[in-house]
């Protein structure tokens, strides 16, 4: 073991003390913040918007929607049948020390017909990217992790669009989907705004814009299919609603400690209830809105150990009571088993590229290179890391 | 020496995690429909691929799995989730096989192999054509009967059943009669076991 625990031990102790100090300070601040939420809800809408517009640039307040900002909504009835789709992705980043320069995006998905009594269908799509067009951005620079992540996120959403569009037959003999279909809820294990594109300086890049266009086109497909779509964020760290209530109280910037929305709604929401919807404050949301996909979010007490989750939805879900009920009831129901929605757990498992997979992929790449008369050797540095990093020879 | 013939219908059923001359243990994640059967024959390469150890599967266990444990501890899982776990999601499986012979590139030898398979060697099921070839001789039976602490009688009955199924319908009865006779000869000092085995074999014929 190269980690000297004796050195780290006092630092770990300090970490624990700091966490306790923050928790104590938060417990003092939290009741005040909860009161500010109620106060902000009593403000005239135009006055509230005026105060939000005056918030300092460092704050990122959520924008209220048609729902009162302190409202909470009980769990709606779950439909007798619900088709649940989930997709998740993982990636292998390019490694200049590897035998070849490439990256891979791996997408896992599941199509589960709750109430059908039939096993779900799963899929994994693995795509190796090795063309110059894939490996260089439009500035001619090597592709960066942000762009790969954006392509992965777009691939996840396109997989959901493929599932809602395509004809689905159960692997088990039986009636085709059309005879058993119910409403459809599509889930992503992430927020719905394309993160790479949300960084202003990147949005102007043609390669990022191309990914954004693909992403928005997939949203079009999902909207037109009649499905509900939600991005599920477990243990969220956002503070957009905290920023809202502090800006409304002219306390923007807040006195330390900075609290999160999760803490605020942990106090405000009972099990299985959801908060009001809010408009996502990111600037890229304007572009989403212009294309008919403004992103909103709400907080949901799932009833599970982690309690409060953030759920992001497009405007066309928010405006449709039936789709909203499906998102709310469907997520709570799926959290009963595994704390986070079961289809997301399985999609993640199907997408994950583990160390063993990575080693097997490297072996295949090396063999292909050698077959074509090219040295399949990793760099000397990669070799030395392998020699020193492998503590267990045999791992299944 | 000719290389071991690769049957196209062979299926990967595990990778060796522990092994000895007398047998090997393998693990893999697979779905339930792909699981091998108790009493089935399998093979794993040894000696750098120069030989193939033939194993008789005497134990199949489903290893502990965190997600499955969580689901088991939760409320009654939804039917679709249960079906997902049982038929779609690969589950960690461990198989244990007894060495009952090996193929040296020229043919089968019904004895313990010179070396065990190496760690992480692929374990394949023996397809029907190879099952017929291997069980054309019953010379592997002494190795099974001599194995300590195994459910030998049930194991042999299962093996004979699968070996019979690998044969054309017209040859099955003759094979089972021949296998029963060979067991009776080898177990002549233990009439109780002979009776058990013959009853098992008769039961397979529904008589």
> Residue A197's domain is classified under what CATH number?
3.30.2170
Residue A36 domain-assigned (yes or no): no
Are A309 and A364 part of one and the same domain? no
* CA distance to partner chain A, nearest, from residue B82 (Å): 8
Say if residue A244 is in the same domain as residue A365.
no
CA distance A290 to A267: 35
Do the domain assignments include residue A246? Answer: yes
Q: Touching check for B11 and chain A: CB below 8 Å? A: no
| Optimal mutation site among B12, B78, B92, interface A, most CBs of chain A within 10 A | B78
- Spans of chain A, pLDDT less than 70: 1, 167-181, 199-203, 252-256, 376, 386-396
CA distance B173 to B168: 10
Residue A330 and residue A282 in one domain: yes
* pLDDT recorded at residue A338: 87
Task: Quote the pLDDT of residue A203.
Answer: 56
Give the separation between CA A346 and CA B118, rounded to whole angstroms: 33
Residue A77 lies in a domain: yes
Measured distance CA(A9)–CA(A14) in Å, rounded: 9
A interface test, pick of B74, B75, B88 with most A CB neighbours within 10 Å: B88
- Give the residues of chain B that fall short of pLDDT 50: 1-3, 205-207
Determine how β-strand A184-188 pairs with β-strand A228-234: parallel
pLDDT, residue B19, reads 93
Pick from B80, B87, B119: CB nearest A114: B80
Looking at the structure, do residues A233 and A317 belong to the same domain, yes or no? yes
Separation CA A64–CA A52 (nearest Å): 10
Number of domains chain A is built from: 2
- Given a contact cutoff of 8 angstroms between Cβ atoms, the answer to whether A152 and A105 are in contact is yes
Q: Are residues A216 and A315 in the same domain?
A: yes
Other Cβ atoms closer than 10 A to B179: 22
pLDDT of the residue at A173:
47
Tell whether A156 is covered by a domain.
Answer: yes
Pair A178, A299 in one domain: yes
So what's the pLDDT on residue A391?
A: 54
A55-84 core/surface letters (b: 16 or more CB in 10 A; e: else): beeebbbbbbbebebbebbebbebbeebbb
CB A328 within 8 A of CB A76: yes
Do the Cβ atoms of A346 and B84 come within 8 Å?
yes
Same domain, residue pair A125 and A212: yes
Q: How far is CA A122 from CA A171, A377, A394, in A?
A: 10, 35, 29
Q: Which residues is A286 bridged to in the sheet?
A: none
List CB contacts (< 8 A) between B67 and chain A: 338, 345, 349
Do A382 and A338 belong together in one domain? no
Q: For B118, which residue in chain A has the nearest alpha carbon?
A: A394
Please check whether residues A193 and A330 belong to one and the same domain: yes
What is the reported pLDDT for A315? 97
User: Distance of CA A343 to CAs A11, A235, A274, A309, B113, Å?
Assistant: 39, 18, 20, 16, 47
**In this predicted complex, what is the ipTM?**
0.74
Residues A126 and A207 reside in one and the same domain? yes
Q: Phi, psi at residue B108, to the nearest 5°?
A: -80, 140
Write the CA distances from B147 to A218, B26, B56, B142, B201, integer angstroms: 61, 19, 11, 9, 20
In this structure, what DSSP letter does residue A253 have?
A: T
Three-state SS string over A133-198 comes to: HHHECCCCCECCHHHHHHHHHHHHHHHHHHHHHCCCCCCCCCCCHHHCCCCEEEEECCCCCCHHHH
A380: domain range? 355-389
Q: What is the pLDDT of residue A188?
A: 97
Q: Does residue A84 contact residue A330 with C-beta atoms inside 8 Å?
A: yes
To the nearest 10°, the Cα dihedral for B33, B38, B41, B43?
A: 70
- pLDDT single digits (tens) B45-97: 998 889 999 999 999 998 778 888 888 877 667 889 988 988 888 888 999 99
User: Does residue A1 belong to any structural domain of this protein?
Assistant: no
Let me know if residue A21 belongs to a domain.
Answer: no
Beta-bridge partner residues of A230:
A187
Closest-CA residue of chain A to B74: A337
> What is the pLDDT at residue B4?
53
A-chain CB neighbours of B81 within 8 Å are 112, 337, 342
Is A343 found in the same domain as A250? yes
Q: Closest partner residue to A116 among B77, B80, B89, by Cβ?
A: B80
Q: Based on the domain organization, do A237 and A100 belong to the same domain?
A: yes
Tell me the C-alpha distance between A100 and A278, whole Å.
46
C-alpha B33, offset from chain centre: 16
Contact B75 A396 (CB under 8 A): no
Residue A67 in domain: no
């Amino acid at each position: 073991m190269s980690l000297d625990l004796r050195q780290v031990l006092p630092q770990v102790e300090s970490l624990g003390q700091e966490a306790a100090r923050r928790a104590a300070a938060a417990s003092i601040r939290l009741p005040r913040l909860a009161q500010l939420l109620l106060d902000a809800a009593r403000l005239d809408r135009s006055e509230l918007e005026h105060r939000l517009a005056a918030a300092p640039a460092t704050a990122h307040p959520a924008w209220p929607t048609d729902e009162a900002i302190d409202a909470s909504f009980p769990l709606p009835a779950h439909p007798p049948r619900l088709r649940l789709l989930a997709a998740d992705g993982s990636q292998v980043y390019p490694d200049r020390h590897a035998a070849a320069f490439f990256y891979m995006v791996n997408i896992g998905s599941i199509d589960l017909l709750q109430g059908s009594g039939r096993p779900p269908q799963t899929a994994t799509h693995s795509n190796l990217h090795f063309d110059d067009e894939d490996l260089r951005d439009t500035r001619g620079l090597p592709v960066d992790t942000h762009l790969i992540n954006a392509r992965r996120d777009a691939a996840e959403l396109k997989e959901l669009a493929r599932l809602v569009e395509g004809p689905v037959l159960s692997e088990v003999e039986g009636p085709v989907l059309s005879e058993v279909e119910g409403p459809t809820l599509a889930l992503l294990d992430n927020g719905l705004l394309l993160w790479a594109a949300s960084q202003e300086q990147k949005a102007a890049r043609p390669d990022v814009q191309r990914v954004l266009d693909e992403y928005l086109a997939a949203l079009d497909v999902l909207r037109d299919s009649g499905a509900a779509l939600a991005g599920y964020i477990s243990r969220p760290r956002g503070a957009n609603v905290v920023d809202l209530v502090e800006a409304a109280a002219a306390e923007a910037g807040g006195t330390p400690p900075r609290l999160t929305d999760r803490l605020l709604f942990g106090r405000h929401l009972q099990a299985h209830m959801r908060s009001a919807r809010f408009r996502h404050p990111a600037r890229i949301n304007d572009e989403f809105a212009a294309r008919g996909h403004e992103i909103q979010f709400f907080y949901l007490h799932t009833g599970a150990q982690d309690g409060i989750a953030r759920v992001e939805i497009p405007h066309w879900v928010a405006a449709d009571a039936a789709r909203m009920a499906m998102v709310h009831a469907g997520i709570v129901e799926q959290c009963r088993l595994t704390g986070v929605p079961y289809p997301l757990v399985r999609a993640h498992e199907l997408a994950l590229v583990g160390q063993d997979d990575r080693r097997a992929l490297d072996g295949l790449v090396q063999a292909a290179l050698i077959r074509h008369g090219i040295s399949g050797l990793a760099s000397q540095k990669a070799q030395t890391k392998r020699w020193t990093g492998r503590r267990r020879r045999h791992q299944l | 020496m000719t290389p071991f013939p690769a049957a196209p219908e062979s299926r990967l059923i595990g990778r060796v995690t522990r092994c000895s001359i007398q047998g090997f243990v393998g693990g893999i994640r697979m779905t339930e429909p792909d699981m091998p059967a108790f009493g089935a024959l399998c093979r794993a390469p040894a000696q750098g691929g120069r030989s193939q150890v033939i194993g008789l599967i005497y134990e199949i266990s489903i290893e502990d799995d965190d997600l499955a444990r969580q689901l088991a501890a939760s409320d009654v899982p939804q039917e679709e989730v249960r079906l997902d776990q049982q038929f779609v999601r690969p589950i960690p499986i461990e198989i244990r096989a007894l060495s009952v012979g090996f193929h040296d590139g020229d043919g089968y030898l019904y004895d313990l192999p010179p070396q065990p398979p190496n760690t992480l060697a692929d374990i394949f099921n023996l397809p029907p054509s190879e099952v017929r070839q291997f069980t054309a001789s019953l010379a592997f039976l002494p190795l099974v009967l001599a194995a300590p602490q195994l459910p030998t009688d049930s194991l042999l009955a299962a093996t004979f059943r699968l070996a019979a199924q690998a044969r054309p319908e017209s040859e099955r009865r003759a094979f089972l009669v021949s296998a029963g006779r060979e067991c009776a000869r080898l177990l002549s000092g233990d009439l109780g076991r002979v009776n058990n085995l013959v009853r098992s074999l008769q039961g397979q014929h529904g008589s």
